Amino acid sequence: MLATNSFKTLFELLGGRCNLKLDDFPLNHLRIDSRKVKKNDVFIAIKGHTVDGRAFIPQAISMGAVVILVEASRKSNDLKIDYIKRENKSIIPQISVFQLSQRLSLIANEFYYSPSTKLSVIGVTGTNGKTTVSQLIAQCLTLLNEKTALMGTIGNGIYNELEPSVNTTLSAVDVQTLLAEFVEKQVKAVTMEISSHGLAMDRVKGLNCAATVFTNLSRDHLDYHKTMSRYAKAKWSLFSPDEKEKQVLTTGKSIINYDDKYGKRWIEKLPQVTAVSCQTKSLRRLKALNIPYVGVSMIEYLDKGAQIHMESSWGNAIINSRLLGEFNVSNLLLAIATLLTLNYPFFAVVNMASFLTPICGRMEVLHVKNSSTVIVDYAHTPDALQKALQASRIHCKGSLWVIFGCGGDRDTGKRPLMAEIAEQFADKIVLTNDNPRTEDEMKIIHDIQQGLYHTDNVHIITNRVQAITQTLKQAKPNDVILIAGKGHEDYQIVGKTKYHYSDQETVKKLLGVENQS
Ligand SMILES: CC(=O)N[C@H]1[C@@H](OP(=O)(O)OP(=O)(O)OC[C@H]2O[C@@H](n3ccc(=O)[nH]c3=O)[C@H](O)[C@@H]2O)O[C@H](CO)[C@@H](O)[C@@H]1O[C@H](C)C(=O)N[C@@H](C)C(=O)N[C@H](CCC(=O)O)C(=O)O
Ligand SMILES: Nc1ncnc2c1ncn2[C@@H]1O[C@H](COP(=O)(O)OP(=O)(O)OP(=O)(O)O)[C@@H](O)[C@H]1O
Ligand SMILES: N[C@H](CCC[C@H](N)C(=O)O)C(=O)O
Ligand SMILES: [Mg+2]
């Protein structure tokens, strides 16, 4: 596939028309990170939030880059070519491209021959539940024997063969490179988490989606978006049919959570939409909406999941879900609704739904006889913490403990709000470190404490292993301990260093179990 790419085709897709002075030559991959450059690659040097990528041009050339793209300072410099002469007399063309960062996703899409048009891409956005919904869809499709890949927080790659990822949504270039790799590997469907950062930073502009899914919107990331309305606008840009607002090439059919206040509004504005609700009281409204819907007539919460009486435009079914909590009923229904909207057969989908297993680090229960029950969960927003605590309460006959902290260098405003939630929904609170990053750990704890009215049932143990160890020692067999915030993460970031650390491993060691989940 890539053998057909060359300097001339790249120049043309950038909009170049003139006769080039250079003979044509083959190109391999587009790269935005000099450390990943290989022979015959194109290095794209962009100015980032921390460093200027242009500083790495010499490194990229020494690693094998044969073309460089840089941001043009003004429109008149678009497609200006400078020639970098190397000691061995070879010449490397450096092309200036106007609005390079914004156009990068579209450029990469064309360079890789529009890979998303050859796949069924399902884009999932929302504050909480993206990983869960995209993993559930991928799990179900894999059970239905469709080769499926994933891109998201837990990793990227074919389902069950994920490579860890730094970001939830990859860079504009890496998204398209990976999609092209999936096409080569004959993948049929890709479920992809699309973060608000990904949307706001133009990482997905060149994407054709078969379906787009919205889970919910609540407070997070205001360090970046500043206001909820700007945050909502970023999310809406995945669905908007308006050419001026929209952030992807094709939105496809949208599957929207009707239980969310933003979702409810957006449903009215969308031409091709399926509405989803896990509130029994919404069922009549859903039917009256006159659009495809997936709802429920009854839910029974059980020790190991929930029995869901689902009603939908496609038919009714009873699903025995293995996932804990009301929010996971919502996630599961969104996954089912997406597959039904994409015309997968009703009986196959609802039958498989009962076999779907919990996602790593999301409401993951660890329990041994005569010890308290531990739940490891990734709740790191006020809404998620509330939902995870409410779900944990159902399984708690004694006291409900919560151990949590907040990530450093991230939205500070959510810290006291998470404390308020913890105080309202848990009996005992242990404040500890999440990923402090470059912030002072005690400053983060202090910010969290601002949301507490009482301090009697609150312990502060900054070392996370110690916090878990002490809590497990004190808790009684009927108690439940929710350890929130890190879920699947197998690291802790302190300063700029990433240390190996895992809540799951810590708990298993303390409980004396190796591979129980
Ligand atoms: C603030 C932010 O979002 N930064 C993202 C951005 O980095 P940047 O462009 O600013 O990079 P930079 O470090 O200044 O470097 C500039 C350029 O030099 C290049 N470089 C750098 C070093 C080198 O040796 N060689 C080299 O070529 C870099 O590849 C880059 O192209 O683009 C990078 C590539 O896409 C991202 O990895 C990086 O995410 C950082 C790590 C991050 O923490 N982002 C968070 C805020 C984020 O994006 N989170 C969201 C959502 C989370 C959620 O799910 O809730 C996500 O999608 O992950
Ligand atoms: N539908 C939901 N509504 C509210 N909270 C949820 C929902 N789904 C999951 N959660 C909570 O949010 C946590 C993170 O879930 P998940 O990883 O699926 O979300 P995400 O959107 O991918 O998060 P991130 O933005 O960090 O990647 C879960 O561990 C749970 O506590
Ligand atoms: N995707 C989320 C992950 C947060 C997880 C938490 N452990 C933290 O480090 O804050 C974010 O970037 O905000
Ligand atoms: Mg995620």
- Per-residue pLDDT at 343 exceeds 60: yes
Kindly give the pairing relationship between strand 81-85 and strand 211-214: unpaired
Residues 153, 125 contacting (CB under 8 angstroms): no
Q: Is 381 in the pocket of ligand 3 (CB under 6 A)?
A: no
Query: 85 with 122, same domain?
Result: no
Q: Note the pLDDT of residue 76.
A: 94
- Taking only the tens place, the pLDDT of each residue in 267-302 is 999 988 999 999 999 999 999 999 999 999 999 999
Q: Note the pLDDT of residue 487.
A: 97
Q: Note the pLDDT of residue 515.
A: 54
- For position 219, which CATH number holds? 3.40.1190.10
Query: 328 with 371, same domain?
Result: no
Residues 311, 340 contacting (CB under 8 angstroms): no
Query: 156 with 260, same domain?
Result: yes
| Listed residues 353, 383, 407: the one ending a domain | 353
Say how far apart CA 366 and CA 481 lie, in whole Å: 10
Is position 250 within any domain?
Answer: yes
Query: 261 with 349, same domain?
Result: yes
Picking from 140, 166, 233, 138, the residue whose alpha carbon sits closest to that of residue 32 is: 166
Picking from 366, 360, 455, 443, the residue whose alpha carbon sits closest to that of residue 405 is: 443
Helices (H), 252-319: 261-269, 283-288
Q: Is 461 in the pocket of ligand 2 (CB under 6 A)?
A: no
Say how far apart CA 107 and CA 105 lie, in whole Å: 5
**What length is written for the chain?**
517
Q: Is 198 in the pocket of ligand 1 (CB under 6 A)?
A: yes
Domain around 47: 2-98
Pair of tokens at residue 420: 């308020």
Query: 218 with 303, same domain?
Result: yes
Centre of ligand 3 to C-alpha 407, Å, is: 6
| Listed residues 298, 326, 353: the one ending a domain | 353
Tell me the whole-structure pTM to 2 decimals.
0.95
Q: Is 165 in the pocket of ligand 2 (CB under 6 A)?
A: no
What are the DSSP calls for 376-420, one per residue?
EE---SHHHHHHHHHHHHTT-SSPEEEEE---TTS-STHHHHHHH
Query: 132 with 270, same domain?
Result: yes
Is position 121 within any domain?
Answer: yes
Q: What is the mean pLDDT of residues 169-173?
A: 97
Query: 51 with 146, same domain?
Result: no
Q: Identify the DSSP state of 357.
A: P
Which ligand 1 atom sits closest to the C-alpha of 52? 16
Pair of tokens at residue 243: 């050419």
Query: 227 with 186, same domain?
Result: yes
- For position 58, which CATH number holds? 3.40.1390.10
Query: 293 with 382, same domain?
Result: no
Provide ipTM, 2 decimals. Answer: 0.96
- Taking only the tens place, the pLDDT of each residue in 192-205 is 999 999 999 999 99
Say how far apart CA 59 and CA 61 lie, in whole Å: 5
> Binding site: what residues are annotated?
34, 126-132, 167-169, 195, 203, 410, 434-437, 485, 489
- Angle, helices 414-425 vs 441-449, to 10°: value is 60
Is position 517 within any domain?
Answer: no
- List all residues 6 or more positions away from 185 whose beta carbon is below 8 Å from its beta carbon: 147, 149, 158
Among 43, 49, 493, which residue has the most ligand 1 atoms within 8 Å of its CB, making it the best to mutate? 49
Query: 297 with 444, same domain?
Result: no
Query: 201 with 85, same domain?
Result: no
Q: Which amino acid does the sequence have at 319?
A: I
Domain count across the chain: 3
Residues 516, 508 contacting (CB under 8 angstroms): yes
